[in-house]
Structure 1
Amino acid sequence: MNQASLHRLLMANAKKKDPKILFDQRLATNLTLIQQLYFSLYPEETNLDNFQKLLSLLPVLFKERPEHLKLQDISRIEEGNWYQSEKIVGMQLYVEHFNKDLKGLREKIPYFKELGVNFLHLMPITTRPKGESDGGYAVNDYLKVDPKYGTKEDLLELTAEFRKQGIYLMLDFVVNHTSNEFSWAKKAIRGDKKYQGYYYTFEDYTIPAEFEKTLPEVFPETSPGSFTYIPEMGRWVMTVFNSYQWDLNYTNPDVFLEMLTNLVKLSDQGVDVVRFDALAFLWKKMGTISQNLPEAHTLIALFRMCLQVVAPGVILLAEAIVAPMDIIKYFGVDQKEGNECEIAYNASLMALLWNSVATKKTTLLYKSLLHVPDKPKDCTWINYIRCHDDIGLGYENHLIQELGWSPDMHRKFLLDYYCQHLDWSPATGLMFMYNPKTGDGRITGSAASLLGLEKGLALNDKSLIEASISKIIMLHGITLAFGGIPLIYAGDEIGTLNDYSYQKDPAKKEDNRWVNRPMQDWETIAKLDDIQSPPSKIFHTLKRLIAIRKNEPVFADHNNLSLCHTGNDHILVFERKLASGEGLLVLSNFDQNPQVIETSWIKKLGYFAQGDPVDLVTENKVSINSGLLEIAPYQLIWLKKS
């Protein structure tokens, strides 16, 4: 049993739901685990005083938490795993790209309600350096709202309105690094030894040179290497991502205490989900790639156990875009199972869907998904086809080889397919951070442009336009039906194309990820009554699919998904099933041609034994008695007993 389940059980037996009494109960329940985690990172013989500081800090942080959020914490514990509900549908957006600022965002709540979105991930809204800031992920302050978005009061008014409207909010916690303008970094530059110890800083290049032997480059084109020399400080500092992003030194226990305080105070602003950014990089060790280390998992669990004591209604999302077998570990394994992050990005599914679009086959998709262990029952995924970032090709080499393919050549094919190196490809994407030394690269571009809509419109090719619309709907339909929270990137719901305006902005032109970070097109949205336009077809279909999802309890995530094999390599089929035995089949055709599957196995599913089922997508009955079922190109089917 994970700690959250234990808290729920204990609270159910509590005679009085007093927040302070329940806090004391949670602290007592988590204390042994917190102690074990803490001393495994910071040896007991030299850190007893620091551990006492942590124990003294937790009651202070709880006392400062607003009363209405303490009461919400209690209701969340009673509610259980609310984040696994079929009624949650999310959207990710840049506030300034969506509607100017926080007040402008609040004005658009009716738009979210119309589409059916009730979970929002706002990209960083805190202060950041002028010019390059890695999209806001170079943090000047964890709690101050950047003036271009408004004020802290605007944020608090927004979160209060979200609570009234039943909208969950996710904000980023850039846990791995700060900007070089952060107060700690400024003090370090001025020679303050305490704050130099908050980062990895070195007098000469000897130790950095040893680190560099095994550290992979994150941004080899724009920020090669992982260390930057700071002349004013006379020291080298670790900068794994960009030269203006300084990596925090979590081997220093004071850093953990400071960051825990920032985490809780961020939560106190009305945040429901905290996105732990770049958490795979949290612990650095010479001689390793300093990613996914056991100490990083211990540190995450320590953050989680402490947050759970103070603010148990707030949960963590793992932003770990790593290999499939590594992603699953951020839910916690062994003693930490279910005690790290409640949610993780299903980056493997995302990358595999793009692979299936390019190859028109689902073989690697099936093989990879079957290779990943089941997640803990109290955790869930965020399923998405596109986010603000690039698309990486993080497939397992040995699985590619088992299909008879060369991993290097296969990745080259995918880059060529999506990045306009093949004349016949419908995709209009761009290459991101290509490393000629390794052949590695990533893909940028809006979902619609990567799926052919941009090219179809440019050529006025009606068949290509319709095919791209079908692909957009199919991929989103899969994420809506797969176990977890579906997350739509703002603009994808109306088929927004690549935005090339970033090339004229000095602060953005070197980062082509901005091509898939467009301004929300409110002029197009105002014309959605034109039901024949591509944006209207996409929007209204997704709106209907979202409504269907929210009305079908089978879509709640209870580890109730099973892959089904049809013998047709172009088809993906998976089943969602209730404990009662009722179920639903999701079928998708990744080929440009109609495909046929044999249906006798469908009839053997108990809930399809009598009569013909209905496709919830089209509302038409589907005959499975003929023995064969034809699935149109890029068709999505949600099959349920009629």
Structure 2
Amino acid sequence: MLPHTLLQETVLHHLAVIYAGVETTQSLDDIKQRLLQTMGLDDENNVRPIVPHQNHWNEKDVVLITYGDSIEKEGEKPLQTLHCFLERYCKPYINSVHILPFFPYSSDDGFSVIDYSSVNESLGNWTHIAQIADDYRLMADLVINHCSARSAWFDNFIKGEGQGHDFFYTASPQDDLSQVVRPRTSPLLRETVTANGEQHVWCTFSHDQVDFDFRNPEVLITFISIIRQYLDNGVRLFRLDAVAFLWKQIGTPCINLEQTHEAVRLIRTLIEHAQPDAVIITETNIPNRENLAYFGNANEAHAIYNFSLPPLLLNTLITGDCTYLKNWMMSMPPAQNGTTYFNFIASHDGIGLRPAEGLLEERELNTLLSTMQQFGGRVSWRVADNGQQKPYEINIALFDALQGTTAGQDKWGMERFVCAHTIMFGLEGIPGLYVHSLLATGNDYDRLANTNQNRSINRHRWNYDKLESELSNQHSQHAKAHKRLTSLLQKRTAQPAFHPNATQFTLQLGSQLFGYWRQSIDRRQSIFCVSNITDTIQILRLSDVNLIGTDKWQDLISEMEINDALMELELMPYQTVWITNIVY
């Protein structure tokens, strides 16, 4: 079957699943044709052949996560300043950048989008975005579940005419909404007076973030046009924000519904035929098993956020016990070729706790919460199924989160902080490094006070000149962290055994040493990654990791040669070794 014919049949199948039981004013064939035309795939000469299970990444891929204005310089657009920062302080260790929503917005630091087609003029313009995309693989957010209540679309919803007048999901207060899963404590429905009378608009996150109604095919077609625009401006990685909530159906939890999964499959089909090296990453801050489902059968997300890693690794380092982290690691399936994990341990949001459900016992969770609050953190809440409030995420800068253990603050903060990143850098998957971790930025209490939003504590804005001064001072925590993390990345990105899809096995080294083995796809290089996750010296017996005695081994980090496969290594508190048989 010709690629173009197969594409049409595939898209039609996706639409049949999504709109089963939904009355639409257009036929599925008409919707299909409009989608293909919007993406530029109606001409068979534009349809690229797809190679199944192809990895669009390797060990050199590292993503820096940042807001467009995380670093500012007087008299310069922040996107220009960001580009300068990337060139001076990130190259060649980081080859990709995730610029968090850079569109006009009304709240939630960008995630309440007013206009998807424009760059926030306070940041710069599309030319600045394209210039960054020329030098770095660019990741952008597709805020697909909701938009701003101040958008032109929602204005038209209120007027009852024009584009957007039928874009939003409404329900009745009398509907059975008891099963709906919420990430927030605000009321789900927003009363809105419109030209058609009072409407109750669905708001999963806040009343300034009004949810789309994907039962209307015009919403889907509009988002495909947005994707096309982003591709044309150099975006190659698409972060599908809050996508788990996309499809609503009264009487269900309204999360992870089959129509949502099929919509992700459809988006992937269209994107990969238009731009085969483009990647979609699902952002689903939900329990681990549900998160894994977004891989599908290697036909949904290319990558999923590894949301369970941050709370489990944080728990490991503050307790000095890796049992929970190790058990989770052993349960994680290896990603098929063509899919991978997106690893991170800090982000612009917080440390999500739903992904730890079923993985951390309640006692451990309570200890984690109280410890983070001692280190200046805040806790955000959600409404559980029974109507009670439950902790949703911890809001804290990672550098401050790791300044101590359950026993309190100590002198090992920097070592613990570096240890956390060293563990993350070696894991199966692509590492995502938050800019404020690269810079060891602490809690921003002034910003927290100004916004009264918990997440602001980890969304500091640096003055570029001040940052330069800090990074030139070798004694500052910022310079120390930057030097050590970039040194690790320089080593990491040269090792084939750190390919995102290279083999990984968890090592059994007790509860105080956390280790795993990576082997390159060609099986030539092995790396044994072992970390002392305690504040006391630990002994690593190399016989426990079964080094092959005929090979020459070296710790990549310390560059120490290992001449005896039976020797014992003394690991200082929070020290990590990357023991390899081949040094690149």
TM-score in terms of structure 1 length: 0.82
For the structure 1 residues 454 and 587, does the alpha-carbon distance in structure 2 shift closer, same or farther, using more than 3 Å as the test?
Answer: closer
Aligned residue in 2 for 1:124: 101
For the structure 1 residues 502 and 177, does the alpha-carbon distance in structure 2 shift closer, same or farther, using more than 3 Å as the test?
Answer: same
Q: Which amino acid aligns with 2:183?
A: V
Aligned residue in 2 for 1:313: 277
- Residues 252-284 of structure 1 show CA distances to partners (whole Å, capped at 9, x for unaligned) of 222212222222222221101111000111111
Query: Does the residue aligned with 2:308 lie in a helix, a strand or coil?
Result: helix
- Residues 75-116 of structure 1 show CA distances to partners (whole Å, capped at 9, x for unaligned) of x97899464311111111111122352222233332244461
Deviation at 1:237, TM superposition (A): 0.5
Structure 1 counterpart of 2:418, from 450, 473, 481 = 473
Deviation at 1:180, TM superposition (A): 1.1
Deviation at 1:477, TM superposition (A): 1.2
Structure 1 counterpart of 2:191, from 226, 229, 233 = 229
Which deviates more, 174-183 or 48-57? 48-57
**Does the alignment pair 1:519 with 2:461?**
yes
Aligned residue in 2 for 1:428: 376
**Preserved CA contact (<8 Å) 2:425 2:489:** yes
Q: Distance in 2 between matches of 1:398 and 1:319?
A: 20
**Does the alignment pair 1:619 with 2:559?**
yes
Mapping for residues 484-495 of structure 1, pairs under 5 Å? 484-495=429-440
Deviation at 1:455, TM superposition (A): 13
**Does the alignment pair 1:543 with 2:516?**
no
Mapping for residues 88-107 of structure 1, pairs under 5 Å? 88-99=61-72, 100-107=77-84
Aligned residue in 1 for 2:146: 177
Q: Which amino acid aligns with 2:209?
A: Q
Deviation at 1:62, TM superposition (A): 4.5
Q: Which amino acid aligns with 2:398?
A: A
Q: Distance in 2 between matches of 1:532 and 1:316?
A: 40
Deviation at 1:291, TM superposition (A): 1.2
Structure 1 counterpart of 2:237, from 251, 270, 273 = 273
Deviation at 1:227, TM superposition (A): 0.8
Mapping for residues 93-492 of structure 1, pairs under 5 Å? 93-99=66-72, 100-114=77-91, 116-129=93-106, 133-156=107-130, 158-159=131-132, 162-163=133-134, 165=135, 167-192=136-161, 195-202=164-171, 204-207=172-175, 210-211=176-177, 213-220=178-185, 224-232=186-194, 233-332=197-296, 337-395=297-355, 398-400=358-360, 407-420=361-374, 427-433=375-381, 437-452=388-403, 464-465=410-411, 467-492=412-437
Q: Which amino acid aligns with 1:609?
A: G
**Preserved CA contact (<8 Å) 1:613 1:639:** yes
**Preserved CA contact (<8 Å) 1:264 1:311:** no
Name the structure with the higher helix share.
Answer: 1
- Residues 484-515 of structure 1 show CA distances to partners (whole Å, capped at 9, x for unaligned) of 2111111212211111122443xx22x11111
State percent identity of aligned pairs: 22
**Preserved CA contact (<8 Å) 2:50 2:273:** no
Deviation at 1:136, TM superposition (A): 0.7
**Preserved CA contact (<8 Å) 2:11 2:266:** yes
- Residues 142-181 of structure 1 show CA distances to partners (whole Å, capped at 9, x for unaligned) of 111111112233333x24xx32x3x100010101111112
- Residues 532-583 of structure 1 show CA distances to partners (whole Å, capped at 9, x for unaligned) of 43322221111111111121111112241111112x2021111110233430
Q: Distance in 2 between matches of 1:582 and 1:455?
A: 38
Q: Which amino acid aligns with 2:184?
A: F
For the structure 1 residues 524 and 368, does the alpha-carbon distance in structure 2 shift closer, same or farther, using more than 3 Å as the test?
Answer: same
Deviation at 1:36, TM superposition (A): 1.5
Structure 1 counterpart of 2:576, from 622, 626, 636 = 636
Q: Distance in 1 between matches of 2:22 and 2:493?
A: 53
For the structure 1 residues 354 and 198, does the alpha-carbon distance in structure 2 shift closer, same or farther, using more than 3 Å as the test?
Answer: same
Query: Does the residue aligned with 2:27 lie in a helix, a strand or coil?
Result: helix
Q: Which amino acid aligns with 1:206?
A: Q
Q: Distance in 2 between matches of 1:107 and 1:197?
A: 43
Name the structure with the higher strand share.
Answer: 2
Query: Does the residue aligned with 2:353 lie in a helix, a strand or coil?
Result: coil
- Residues 585-609 of structure 1 show CA distances to partners (whole Å, capped at 9, x for unaligned) of 111111111122333233x34xx32
RMSD: 3.0
Mapping for residues 562-641 of structure 1, pairs under 5 Å? 562-566=505-509, 568-578=510-520, 579-602=522-545, 604-605=546-547, 608-610=548-550, 613-622=553-562, 625-641=565-581
Q: Which amino acid aligns with 1:109?
A: L
**Preserved CA contact (<8 Å) 1:483 1:557:** yes
**Preserved CA contact (<8 Å) 1:324 1:372:** no
Q: Distance in 1 between matches of 2:212 and 2:519?
A: 44
**Preserved CA contact (<8 Å) 2:50 2:272:** no
Unpaired segments ≥5 residues, structure 1: 1-9, 11-24, 401-406, 421-426
Q: Distance in 2 between matches of 1:454 and 1:538?
A: 19
Deviation at 1:31, TM superposition (A): 2.7
For the structure 1 residues 301 and 621, does the alpha-carbon distance in structure 2 shift closer, same or farther, using more than 3 Å as the test?
Answer: same
**Preserved CA contact (<8 Å) 1:494 1:525:** no
Deviation at 1:319, TM superposition (A): 0.5
**Does the alignment pair 1:534 with 2:477?**
yes
Q: Which amino acid aligns with 1:433?
A: W
Deviation at 1:51, TM superposition (A): 2.3
Q: Distance in 2 between matches of 1:145 and 1:477?
A: 35
**Preserved CA contact (<8 Å) 2:31 2:217:** no
In the comparison of the two structures, how many residue pairs are matched?
569
Aligned residue in 1 for 2:33: 56
**Preserved CA contact (<8 Å) 1:428 1:452:** no
**Preserved CA contact (<8 Å) 1:453 1:497:** no
Query: Does the residue aligned with 2:123 lie in a helix, a strand or coil?
Result: coil
Deviation at 1:49, TM superposition (A): 4.0
Q: Distance in 1 between matches of 2:163 and 2:110?
A: 26
Q: Distance in 2 between matches of 1:484 and 1:273?
A: 15
Q: Distance in 2 between matches of 1:338 and 1:277?
A: 20
Q: Distance in 1 between matches of 2:190 and 2:19?
A: 27
Q: Distance in 1 between matches of 2:18 and 2:40?
A: 27
For the structure 1 residues 320 and 107, does the alpha-carbon distance in structure 2 shift closer, same or farther, using more than 3 Å as the test?
Answer: same
TM-score in terms of structure 2 length: 0.90
Unpaired segments ≥5 residues, structure 2: none
Deviation at 1:122, TM superposition (A): 0.5
